[in-house]
Structure 1
Amino acid sequence: MDAAAAPINVAVDLVVLTLRQGRLSVLLVQREDEPYAGTWALPGGFVQLEEDLLAAAHRVLQSEASLGREHTYLEQLRTFGDAGRDPRGRVISVAFMALGADLPDPVFGPGAADARFWNLTDIDPAALAFDHAEILGTAVERARAKLEYTTLATSFLPPEFTISQLRGVYESVWGTSLDPGNFHRKATRSPGFVVDLGTQTDGTGGRPARLFAAGEGTVLNPPLLRGGD
């Protein structure tokens, strides 16, 4: 077949990020089939004829990670289409980023030998299948940037949380330490970011802390900038 007439396939790949033991982690599956059999990769799959892209992404989340729509925040990340990215032929991948709090251990589906959440610092990017190191890096930087200007950090937290836990999200995703007093002031004064529930933790093992919930805002004004004082 003429290379110019070769079929083009469309796939979705997902970067599923969560915090485990206070560390930013990503879901990887160990491929069972060629190409890259035995290699760790992002969960993904080909888009079916009757599907739109978002439906395909949710199907992959359910089939490869047992995650329903209620568990995660999902957004389209970017399209990756280098001609040689897949040895099976011309495959264009639409990548999605999914964020969630306390995500359960995955129950992997067909085509995977194993699946689990990996701490980012334990991953050798060069060992990932396809161009998934590039996709993962793009998603992590997107998450770090969105924490500066949006209220997305609350996606990593349960419905009720402390400001200390919220600060822990920023420290884990950004890989830095933040001044507790400055962060508390900025977070609680940003309109629509958090809502004071008027209750406290039970204080078991420490001083009680006020509990908050995610507000209705989507944009931080002023932003919480990396490296800001």
Structure 2
Amino acid sequence: MNKTNFTALIIDDEPPARAVVRSFLQQHPQISVVGECGNGFEALKSIQENNPDILFLDVQMPKVSGLELLEVLDEVPVVVFSTAYDQYALKAFEMSAVDYLLKPYSQTRFNQAMEKVMAQLKKGQKTNAAELLKNHSAASNSLLQRVVVKTGNKMHVIPVNKIRYIEASEDYVMIYAENSRHLKAQTMRYFEEHLEPSQFVRIHRSYIVNVSFVERLEPYDKDTYVAIMTEGQRLKISRTGYKKLKETLNF
């Protein structure tokens, strides 16, 4: 028997924007609102507690963006983005999110989005978060200022200047920061392309280092070196990585 009633979570840092969604949903009695959240931290907790079928998700939020929230979800509900900006981000969302709403939007436009939502829900389909994030990454040329990770049920924001190094870990990366390490479903190539190149260098296929935390270089064998980090870790450097490191450190 197909499910006919669904639940939704409204996530937006602006109360009036949340009120608009709740008001427009009155024309859709098959959707029950299980909560409203003003930031990504509240949203993660509510998603874990309520397991909503739909997220009405603001893209730009001050603590954690909508995309950063999606990065740490194990399972992603059907997503409708809302945003005040119609630039590169929307082009990336078109192929991955169910729909996006450009603020301010009308009841008619909202209803059009809901038709897509209901069609997807009735098929039992889920938003492909991995594809969504890949499309967004490809569309964005901006450098990372922070990385959002999840430990247990909690979300943490790591400023990139606190990252000491990143290690490849099969289909994931391990991010080593101050007194902590975090596994993240992302590629080394992504970080290589989105971290400040004068600060972060890929020294090996398995390592990207923050040069501020490289204490010294030591010979490993005849033609290779290791980077000695400030906390004592010894990271192998490839020939290509050594060349990049020399250029970055200007020695």
Tell me if both proteins adopt one fold, taking TM over 0.5 as the criterion: no
Q: Please give the TM-score of this superposition, normalised by the length of structure 1.
A: 0.29
In terms of Rg, which structure is larger?
Answer: 2
Q: Which has the higher contact order (CA 8 A, sep 6+)?
A: 1
Higher helix proportion: 2
